[in-house]
Structure 1
Amino acid sequence: MFARYRFLFLTSLLLMLQACSVLPSKEEQSSALGQLQHWQIQGKLSVRNPKDNITGYVTWEQVNDHFDMFISGPFGRGASRLQGDDHSASLLLPDWSAPQTADSPETLMQEHLGWQFPVRDIRFWVKGQPSPASKHEATYDNYGLTQTLKQHGWEISFSRYQKYGDQWLPGLIKMKGFDYQLTLAVNQWTLHD
């Protein structure tokens, strides 16, 4: 009987040690996320502010600083597309005959939708890392995975981490700031790096 409990204890201990060895250190995780420059996500995006409560499905591809977000369902009118890079952006809503352009995606969102949406920062936040553009405060779990982040007036929380290839990436990202609450529930990550 004692031998059986000893075997179960040693087996459990071995499995726990093996699981811990698979997770990266905080430094390894940060370095790996910094190298991840080409990815795609599919999921559900919810945006709440004092005037709106909108939900849609998003397919988002990021290649270096170029982004392409296809959002279906929100705005009450079918599909929309936001794309661009660090120097320009275009927004196409379902009832428009041509896309509108601006120097930044944030300007487009503010001018045409009345939203303050941090598109250039969110490409880092969605991976569970701070934007390198400014100072931040962050908390991490015992495995080096980001739990919370404060940056540019936004508070972000991360959960439901899953392993994709060699990367641990969040499956649920919640952002609060400027009277907005954004929730991104990622159904699938596709990594191209």
Structure 2
Amino acid sequence: MLAAAAVLVSACATVPEPAPVADPQRVWQDRQARLSRLAHWMAAGRIAIRAEDDGATLSLHWEQLGDAYQIRLNAPLGGGAVEIAGDPDRVVLRSSEGEGPWTASSPEALLRQRLGWSVPLEGLRYWILGAAEPGVSVENLVLDADGRPERLSQLGWEVHYANYRPFGAYELPTRVFLNNARVSARIVVHRWNVQA
């Protein structure tokens, strides 16, 4: 019995790590194309935001369907919730305390006005997936051995990635770190639901 356990343990110990891809840049381009076409996904987790002298940790539920999105942010211990729903033409923000709704054509301006901080939701829509926003120049791109981004810069934001995991046919990050001169955010995704 002990000998069988030793054989089993040694067999598990010799499982080789997957070899790095031959051309990470090519894998990145393919990955970018696949993720930019991803039309329907949902992410659930937490977001910690720090803006100047203020900060908050909130639960996050984001559903993206084409160009339309619905984002729900809940404060801990019944501290209230905010729902942000929008598309390229309009964004609506509602509060669980019965305030609002507030509308605007720009989610960034509305977030800054109502919450005191702002992140570029159009860019974040792609960044959270481990992709760059299409049509916007990418700087400081650093890829891992598998062609996934470890870091990129867009729209004045530095985006760092950690802990990719498979979710369906996609490898998606479970940790995304964003910062610019005024705001930093840490997103931890506990659950992805991806529908191609």
- Separation in structure 2 between the aligned mates of residue 112 and residue 133 of structure 1, nearest angstrom: 29
- Answer yes or no: is 1:152 the counterpart of 2:152: no
- Separation in structure 1 between the aligned mates of residue 95 and residue 174 of structure 2, nearest angstrom: 27
Say whether the 8 Å CA contact 2:20–2:145 is kept in structure 1: no
The DSSP-based 3-state class of the residue aligned with 1:127 is coil
User: Residues 109-163 of structure 1, C-alpha deviation per residue, up to 9 Å, x if partnerless?
Assistant: 0111221221111001001111124211111111100100101110000011000
Say whether the 8 Å CA contact 1:77–1:94 is kept in structure 2: no
For normalisation by structure 2, the TM-score amounts to 0.84
Instruction: Show the 5 A alignment for 1:96-115.
Output: 96-115=98-117
Other-structure match for 1:88? 90
Other-structure match for 2:6? none
CA RMSD of aligned residues (A): 2.4
Instruction: Show the 5 A alignment for 1:69-80.
Output: 69-73=71-75, 77-80=79-82
Other-structure match for 1:4? none
The DSSP-based 3-state class of the residue aligned with 2:17 is helix
Query: Structure 1 stretches (4+) deviating beyond 6 angstroms?
Result: none
- Answer yes or no: is 1:52 the counterpart of 2:50: no
Question: Which of 129, 136, 139 matches 2:142?
Answer: 139
Say whether the 8 Å CA contact 1:32–1:167 is kept in structure 2: no
Other-structure match for 2:178? 175
For normalisation by structure 1, the TM-score amounts to 0.85
Other-structure match for 1:15? 16
Question: Which of 174, 182, 187 matches 2:190?
Answer: 187
- Separation in structure 2 between the aligned mates of residue 125 and residue 32 of structure 1, nearest angstrom: 14
- Separation in structure 1 between the aligned mates of residue 130 and residue 40 of structure 2, nearest angstrom: 15
Aligned residue pairs, count? 181
The DSSP-based 3-state class of the residue aligned with 1:160 is strand
Say whether the 8 Å CA contact 2:150–2:162 is kept in structure 1: yes
Other-structure match for 1:5? none
Say whether the 8 Å CA contact 2:128–2:176 is kept in structure 1: yes
- Separation in structure 2 between the aligned mates of residue 63 and residue 178 of structure 1, nearest angstrom: 31
Give the deviation of 1:182 after TM superposition: 0.5
- Answer yes or no: is 1:124 the counterpart of 2:126: yes
Give the deviation of 1:178 after TM superposition: 3.0
| Larger proportion of helix | 1
- The letter of the residue matching 2:106 is S
